[in-house]
């Protein structure tokens, strides 16, 4: 093992994202020997007591952190959210039925494409087309006409590219359950479980290791898929096997458990939300106080506290900003290719100090170049 | 980081399996800071130069290690081999076509079930039913009647439960390509690429981190799936996106690259094969020289050098063996639930010292209890 003190820089990447050093140090130790078993976490059988402990802890701490009601099941499924785009449609939408998918940006748009390819006979209705507005907002009250009798309404609660967020869940047609892609903000605020039948998130933004997703679903919804499916595509089989149909992503499950416990130790979802709001406020304050030098990409009323997207007056200034930011050891600030400009992603593990440092840098940059 | 010297024990687990401490130490270091970027491997964007380097190294070292011809593409796909059981059928078997699946044990049997669920209109023919023989051998010359015109013949080259192996690839009908599940022995011997259209393996036995598979396929075979598929199920889309349709399992890809380079540094596939044969010979010698105290589960002519399965004269003795082995710090020796008895799994990263230690233990145990 290397004993140098590595130097860490500010990482504002949209994901995979920064992790707490306490968790990384624990993971590094556990790679060599976990629970004093003489065997590292990567090397343990997924059918033996050590991994039983790891998986049990991950599920239990997830439930505690997310305040997840007992009627909801917790699954760890290989692959990122794009796999879930297909599995949700395959498991839930009967042939020839309709599901609602408001389009609020690239990820919701991809979910639409994947659902159509997964269940070609279904109608994937798009009751809100955010593209018309360059995705600068999510639908406000009355702006969306949901489909009566839809199987569900799928939405992405926080949109990472343009930095918009549903501050309250969208209104589906009466009796239609919500399915939520919460990849970018899970455990960043309390979830209204009464309104949601299924909530999912990929791991690499808020709870660790890329290549795995968390699926939290009401038991009645996933007890039986609406069609014949191979086992790895079936939530019912994942549920019956307790996320161990085959060898699961054991390391990612372990890291998730450590991240859940880290968030609980920080004070839980409400404290994480308070910090996320404080981090975002520092950046938005620089934008709003810059006299137009920085301009946000999203409407004020649906600004995301997680991804703050903005641009400067010219593309040259955008590039100068990221160049100087890189020199000042801020990483990952270039905007998504769909939107350009600058984006500061501040997921649950990002410290307030990082946001303070970035706000100061923005302030100084505006003074130098404004 | 913890600076104690952890004590490591002999881990004969069937997988996830033991890894070289050099690789684990490097991974532990890279969790905190990889390539002196100030950012750990889990936290790096999959669209930035550091991960470009990691992925490029993994693909290049895989190709060098496996001596993979340039017509074959190398894909990293989320999920274990059970996901591939479905994807292979979905991508390759047209509706109403037939594919051959000799059944040599639990994993090939599961592949049959998954292929049937993935493509219900297809015929999944079983030209060899190993169950009749308690899976004590793989088909010998003339024992299998392959289907003329089948889309492919799928086989599992090394069977981990009963410890059997195809020493040479099975004979499909003329012109029918082979698809091989090499999860338990990939890079453990040279592969005859001329006979194989697609070879796949989950990572956790021979190249690292559970939750990802390697798929090596002839370009012509996977250029276009035989049916409309969601992107994450389509080899063609994985290929076009160079294994980055979405955020891939970045840590598992990094670990795979380190494992490939470790195997190259050991002397490559032929040296690994020599060591695997030597490790197995030590254990089979104890079995064959025990005068019936230990009895192998597989026929001599198709014994696996990777998984050595045997039993003692009574279940009580089996249990006493694993109990005393555990006390002597050997782990993972209990047989698979389908076969019972004892199983020593010795994948590519297992040292000859471990096998020597186990052989000595077996010798002493037989003397004490024989």
Tell me the per-residue pLDDT of A171-181, one tens digit each, with 9 for 90 and over: 999 999 999 99
Structure tokens at B265: 């540094």
Cβ-in-10-Å burial (0-12, 13-18, 19+) of A351 comes to middle
Measure A296 CA to nearest chain B CA, in Å. Answer: 23
Cis check for the bond before B16: say yes or no (omega within 30 of 0).
Answer: yes
Active site annotation includes B25: no
Chain B touched by A344 (CB under 8 Å): no
Name every residue whose Cβ is closer than 8 Å to that of residue A79 and which is 6 or more positions away in sequence: A211, A212, A213, B78, B79, B232
Rounded to whole angstroms, what are the CA distances from B235 to A102, A214, B84, B229, B230?
29, 24, 10, 10, 10
Contact A246 B211 (CB under 8 A): no
Residue in B closest to A248 by C-alpha: B211
The pLDDT value recorded for residue B6 is 74
Q: What is the mean pLDDT of residues B284-308?
A: 97
pLDDT at residue B141 is higher than 90: no
Facing A19 at nearest CB: one of B38, B40, B331: B40
Positions of A annotated as catalytic residues are 107, 181, 205
B99, containing H or E segment: strand B98-100
At residue A6, the pLDDT reads: 74
Is the CB of A248 inside 8 Å of chain B's CB atoms?
A: yes
- Here the tokens at position B344 are 């020593």
Chain B residue with Cα closest to A38: B8
| B364 in active site | no
Q: What's the whole-number mean pLDDT along residues A142-171?
A: 97
Tokens (6 digits) for A71: 């009627």
pTM: 0.98
Q: Which has more confidence, B13 or A4? A: B13
Residues 24-63 of A with CB under 8 A from B: 24-25, 27-29, 31-33, 36-40, 42-46, 48
* SS3 at position B34: coil
What is the C-alpha to C-alpha distance for residues A243 and A223, in angstroms, rounded to an integer?
14
B250 and A211 within 8 Å at the Cβ level: the answer is yes
Q: Which of B30, B100, B103, B107 is catalytic?
A: B107
Give per-residue burial for B141-160: e unless 16+ CB within 10 Å, then b.
Answer: eeebebbeebbbbbbbbbbb
A1 and B80 in contact by Cβ < 8 A? no
Q: Which residue has the tokens 């699946």?
A: B101
| Residue B5 pLDDT grade (very low, low, confident, very high; cuts 50, 70, 90) | low
The whole-angstrom separation of Cα A53 and Cα A89 is 32
pLDDT value at position A119? 98
Mean pLDDT (chain B, rounded): 96
pLDDT of residue A108: 98
Residue A148 has pLDDT above 90, yes or no: yes
- Residues A84-107 have a mean pLDDT of 98
Question: What is the crossing angle of helices B21-32 and B250-266, to 10°?
Answer: 140
B39 contacts in chain A (CB < 8 Å): 8-9, 11, 13, 18, 331
A259 token code pair: 């991240």
Query: How far is residue A180's CA from residue A161's CA, in Å, rounded to a whole number?
Result: 17
Maximum Cα–Cα distance across chain A: 62
- Cα angle: A13, vertex A18, A21; to 5 degrees: 160
Examine the pLDDT at B1 and tell me if it is beyond 50. Answer: no
Structure confidence at residue B97 (pLDDT): 98
All domains of chain B in start order, with CATH: 25-265 (3.40.640.10), 268-369 (3.90.1150.10)
- Which one of the listed residues B10, B103, B205, B279 is annotated catalytic? B205
Is pLDDT above 90 for A111? yes
DSSP H helices, chain A, are: 21-32, 49-66, 81-92, 106-118, 219-222, 235-240, 250-266, 268-288, 315-327, 352-369
Region B296-302: mean pLDDT is 96
The average confidence (pLDDT) of chain A is 96
Is the confidence at residue B344, as pLDDT, over 80?
yes
Residues A319-359 have pLDDT tens digits of 999 999 999 999 999 999 889 999 999 999 999 999 999 99
- Report the gap between the CA of A272 and the closest CA in chain B (Å): 19
- What pLDDT was estimated at residue A370? 85
pLDDT tens per residue, range B76-109? 999 999 999 999 999 999 999 999 999 999 999 9
Q: Count the residues in chain A.
A: 370
Report the percent of chain A where pLDDT is more than 90: 96
For residue A2, pLDDT beyond 60: no
**Average of pLDDT values for B188-199?**
97
Buried b (16+ CB within 10 A) or exposed e, A149-158: ebbbbbbbbb
For residues B131-137, give the mean pLDDT: 96
Of A14, A33, A211, the CB nearest to B252: A211
**Interface test mutation site (partner A, options B17, B79, B225, max chain A beta carbons within 10 A):** B79
pLDDT digits (tens, 9 = 90+) for B118-128: 999 999 999 99
Q: Which residue of B has its CA nearest to A210?
A: B249
Rounded average pLDDT over A31-60: 97
Task: Write the CB contacts of B185 (distance below 8 Å, at least 6 apart in sequence).
Answer: B157, B158, B165, B206, B304, B306, B347
What's the pLDDT at A4? Answer: 52
DSSP-assigned beta bridge partners for residue B303 = B164
Q: Is the peptide bond preceding residue A246 cis, with omega within 30 degrees of 0?
A: no
Task: For residue B230, count CB atoms less than 10 angstroms from its CB and return exposed for 0-12, middle for 13-18, buried for 19 or more.
Answer: buried
Count CB atoms within 10 A of the CB of residue A242: 16
Contacts of A14 in chain B (CB under 8 A): 45
Contact B27 A31 (CB under 8 A): yes
Interface touch A247/B211, C-beta < 8 Å: yes
What pLDDT score was predicted for residue A1? 41
- DSSP-derived secondary structure letter, A129: B
Neighbours of B265 (CB within 10 A): 11
- pLDDT band of residue B2 (cuts 50, 70, 90) is very low
Nearest alpha carbon to residue B210 among B70, B83, B29, B21: B83
Of B32, B120, B210, the CB nearest to A46: B210
Mean pLDDT of A185-212: 98
Residue B257's pLDDT is what? 98
pLDDT at residue number B299: 97
Contact check, Cβ <8 Å, B120/A24: no
Least Cα separation, residue B194 to chain A (angstroms): 30
Phi–psi pair at A83, nearest 5 degrees: -65, -40
Nearest to B63 by CA among B269, B338, B350: B269
* Residue B370's pLDDT band (cuts 50, 70, 90): confident
Helix crossing, A21-32 with B21-32: angle to 10°?
A: 180
**8 Å CB contact of A78 and B80:** yes
Give the model's confidence band at A5: pLDDT under 50 very low, under 70 low, under 90 confident, else very high. Answer: low
If you average pLDDT over residues A109-122, what whole number do you get?
Answer: 98
Q: Is A348 on the interface with B (CB under 8 A)?
A: no
The per-residue pLDDT for range B266-277, each reduced to its tens digit, is: 999 999 999 999
Size of interface A-B (CB pairs under 8 A): 245
Burial (CB count <10 Å: 0-12, 13-18, 19+), residue B356: middle
């Amino acid at each position: 093992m290397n004993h140098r003190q590595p130097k860490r820089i500010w990482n504002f990447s949209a994901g995979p994202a920064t992790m707490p050093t306490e968790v990384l140090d624990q993971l590094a130790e556990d790679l060599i020997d976990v629970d004093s078993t003489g065997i590292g976490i990567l090397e343990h059988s997924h059918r033996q007591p050590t991994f039983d402990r790891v998986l049990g802890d991950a599920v239990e701490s997830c439930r505690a952190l997310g305040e997840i009601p007992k009627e909801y099941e917790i699954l760890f499924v290989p692959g990122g959210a794009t796999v879930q785009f297909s599995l949700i449609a395959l498991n839930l939408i009967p042939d020839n039925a309709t599901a609602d998918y408001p389009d609020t940006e690239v990820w919701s748009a991809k979910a639409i494409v994947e659902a159509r390819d997964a269940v070609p006979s279904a109608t994937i209705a798009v009751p809100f087309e955010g593209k018309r507005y360059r995705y600068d907002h999510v639908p406000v009250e009355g702006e969306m006409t949901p489909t009566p009798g839809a199987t569900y309404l799928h939405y992405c609660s926080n949109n990472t590219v343009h930095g918009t967020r549903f501050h309250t869940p969208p209104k589906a047609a009466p009796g239609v359950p919500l399915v939520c892609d919460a990849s970018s903000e899970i455990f960043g605020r309390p979830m209204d479980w009464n309104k949601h039948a299924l909530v999912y998130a990929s791991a690499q933004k808020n709870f660790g290791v890329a290549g795995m997703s968390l699926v939290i679903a009401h038991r009645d919804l996933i007890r039986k898929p609406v069609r014949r499916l191979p086992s790895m595509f079936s939530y019912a089989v994942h549920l019956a096997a307790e996320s161990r149909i085959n060898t699961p992503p054991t390391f990612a499950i372990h890291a998730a458990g450590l991240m859940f416990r880290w968030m609980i130790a920080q004070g839980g979802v409400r404290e994480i939300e308070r910090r996320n709001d404080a981090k975002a406020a520092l950046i938005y304050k620089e934008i709003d106080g810059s006299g137009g030098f920085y301009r946000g990409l999203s409407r004020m009323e649906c600004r995301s506290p997680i991804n703050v997207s903005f641009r400067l007056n010219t593309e040259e200034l955008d590039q100068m900003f990221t160049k100087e930011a890189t020199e000042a050891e801020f990483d990952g600030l270039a905007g998504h290719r769909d939107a350009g400009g600058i984006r500061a992603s501040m997921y649950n593990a990002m410290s307030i100090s990082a946001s303070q440092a970035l706000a100061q840098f923005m302030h100084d940059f505006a003074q130098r170049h404004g």
